[in-house]
Amino acid sequence: MSTDKQISTESSMDLGVHKNDELHPEHSDDYLREGERWATEHDLSTMRRVGDRLPVAAFFVVLTEFCERFTYYGITGPFQNYIQNGYKVPGSRPGAINGGQHLATGLGNFFQFWCYLTPILGAIIADQWLGKFKTILVFSVIYIIGDLILTLTALPSSIRHGGALPGVVIAMITIGLGTGGIKSNVSPMVAEQYGRYRPFVRTLKNGKEVLVDRELTVQSIFNWFYWAINVGGLSAIATTELEAHVDFWPAYLLPTLMFVVCVIVFWLGRKKYVITKPTGSIVLKAYRVISHGLRNFRMAKKENRLVLNEDGTKVTWLEYAKPAYSVDGGSVDWDNKFVDELSTAIRSCKIFLCYPVFWLCYGQMSNNMVSQSGQMNTGSVPNDIMQNIDPLCIIILIPIFDWVIYPGFRRCGLELRPVTRITIGFLIAALAMAYAAIIQHIIYTKPPYYDAAGDGNNGFNDISAGIQVPGYILIAISEVFASVTGLEYAYKRAPESMKSIVMSLFLFTNAGGSILAFCFNSIAANPHLVENFAIVSGLMGAFTILFFVCFRHYDKREAQEAEDRMLKDSNEKNDKPIVSEEY
């Protein structure tokens, strides 16, 4: 990043965050604007908490994510029909490859798995060599290559000569690699643009004072980040209409062109971003720390030299990796702080263990529920347009949650902490799958094709696809509670040096959902779809209970940690400069 004056700020905890302090004071928390003062201990316990305004740089990153998701959902929206149905078959749904529902669902699950496996590679590259900004740019080029492959192999001549299937497979691999490098870095990067850490009090225009809380600001950032994702997801409306009324190649050309816009937008914001330096190979270093800790722990246990904390509890096995607790006399290239950060990251990642089942539910929306709508009367619109009800609902719901529901709970003293929100989201996802099972049962009872509707050249049964709408609404609500909160939690609980890798591990749970989906592939077609949705619903319900039982204490611990952190920050005695409201 080119600036006139770059310094490493104290507020970024010497982690390589750079800023132009003359142009962008919002990149540091070491300032107050007019009408603001630092919070006191009394303020922390009595004042209403609110989120802060978002910096301009965050909007550039959000707009970039909108363009990338426009491309992603624009190309994936037609995938199920593109692979499942034949090309230009009279009286049939649009298609190209004629591979059937099994192949379409299987390739869709593979693509989703690949897209959420590659973020780990993107995180390693960003942390070790390039940093987030350059990594996003490099993987964007790979993404564009994949888009071009998909568009060119979707031309009529390519489809008729058998180029569509190898083309879509190569494009999936290439696009999946590109999106992985972007996803692991863009979400932590958007939150990094807000650099104010200390709690402060702001006087509103009506004279009332409110406590500006970083935790709520980060929560709001991820709400609006997810909102942008789903606005971009509406691109599938345009691409499925193009698929149905024109052809597949223009349906894929539109998102390809949008991604070029994505890269331009991201580049234009380069002078406004907070840019974090690469910190080295966190994965390899973490592996060495874990190995060292386990080895020292076993030696201490064998020699009966286990260490106790001040309260009498045993020191955890990982703490034996600290230089102070080393029992083998070897030197290490890390300090106690890194071990503590790694311990925090491992503890935080435990909460992700139940997410693969949630993503299994979510994945039904883009494959089996698309095929389900193909078995019903959709009128003059393509069957795969129904999945866009989900992003439409999220676009409406996120502002309501951010401005009304969450603040309303806080005013009543009933703040919804992360584990509570995630549990609610999991439960609603289970209900969505139960509803899909009921709908599928109703489809099978209707003429003229009963449990063979949509197979081969068969048409649809006598039932309106509008009955699917409540299922998509339930999925949207579950996303607001579970998916948005997961992104927020992965960022907030990850140590500064590990945000990309922890975010990539959260995204990897989506790949886990795709692996589970492969296990259901044998019943992901007629006449077994009722069992498919019912089993997924039951599995999600069981894991909802398991999740709450295992992690319900996390909310109380997080609330206490947040209170202690704010109290510590408010008690700092440093004099801070005041800057003007405009920046």
Percent of the chain at pLDDT > 90 equals 54
- Each residue's pLDDT tens digit, 368-418: 999 999 999 999 888 988 999 999 999 999 999 999 999 999 888 888 999
Nearest to 277 by CA among 8, 565, 538: 8
Q: Which of 138-142, 233-237, 426-430, 519-523 has the lowest mean pLDDT?
A: 519-523
- Each residue's pLDDT tens digit, 93-122: 899 999 998 899 899 999 999 999 999 999
> How far is it between the farthest Cα atoms of the chain?
78
Sheet strands side by side (includes 209-212): 36-38, 200-203, 209-212, 49-50
Residue 472 CA: distances (Å) to CA of 19, 173, 429, 485? 43, 28, 10, 19
Q: How confident is the model at residue 471 (pLDDT cuts 50, 70, 90)?
A: very high
Nearest to 499 by CA among 119, 157, 28, 161: 119
Q: How confident is the model at residue 327 (pLDDT cuts 50, 70, 90)?
A: low
Q: Are 153 and 247 in contact (CB under 8 A)?
A: no
pLDDT at 558 over 80: no
Residues 75 and 259: their CA atoms lie apart, in Å, by: 11
Residues 132 and 182: their CA atoms lie apart, in Å, by: 8
- Each residue's pLDDT tens digit, 305-326: 777 777 777 888 898 898 877 6
pLDDT at 11 over 60: no
Q: Are 542 and 430 in contact (CB under 8 A)?
A: no
Residues 6+ apart with CB under 8 A from 266: 60, 61, 64, 136, 137, 140
- Each residue's pLDDT tens digit, 128-187: 889 999 999 999 999 999 999 999 999 999 999 999 999 999 999 999 999 999 988 998
Residues 297 and 317: their CA atoms lie apart, in Å, by: 5
Q: What is the DSSP letter of 496?
A: G
Residues 6+ apart with CB under 8 A from 577: 30, 31, 32
- Residue 440 is predicted with a pLDDT of 97
Residues 6+ apart with CB under 8 A from 290: 318, 321, 342
Residues 499 and 166: their CA atoms lie apart, in Å, by: 36
Q: Show the CA angle centred on residue 378, arms to residues 157 and 235, nearest 5°.
A: 60
Instruction: Tell me if the bond preceding 188 is cis, omega within 30° of 0.
Output: no
Q: What is the pTM of this model?
A: 0.78
pLDDT at 357 over 90: yes
Is the model more confident about 308 or about 343? 343
Q: How confident is the model at residue 583 (pLDDT cuts 50, 70, 90)?
A: very low
- Residue 70 is predicted with a pLDDT of 95
H-run or E-run covering 37: strand 36-38
Q: What is the token pair recorded at 16?
A: 């390589």
Q: What is the token pair recorded at 190?
A: 């958007």
- Residue 569 is predicted with a pLDDT of 62
- Residue 306 is predicted with a pLDDT of 79
- Residue 324 is predicted with a pLDDT of 77
Nearest to 100 by CA among 456, 465, 463, 458: 456
